[in-house]
Amino acid sequence: MLFFIWLLILVPVYFYEKSLQALSKYGRMEAVELEKEIGYEIS
């Protein structure tokens, strides 16, 4: 149970950091595309 709670916390943080890295690396447009892809994977 505790492991599952950690997953719920860490996974969004991981994806958020990934999108921040994309933002600084590739600029706004590609970061938005990456966020859309992540959104599709989650839903």
Q: What residue spans define the domains of the chain?
A: 2-42
Say if residues 34 and 20 touch (Cβ distance below 8 Å). Answer: no
> Residue range 6-27: average pLDDT?
78
The pLDDT value recorded for residue 18 is 80
The pLDDT value recorded for residue 26 is 62
Report the alpha-carbon distance of residue 37 to residue 16 in Å, rounded: 13
Report the percent of the chain where pLDDT is more than 90. Answer: 0
Helix, strand, coil abundance in the chain, percent, nearest 5: 95, 0, 5
The pLDDT value recorded for residue 5 is 85
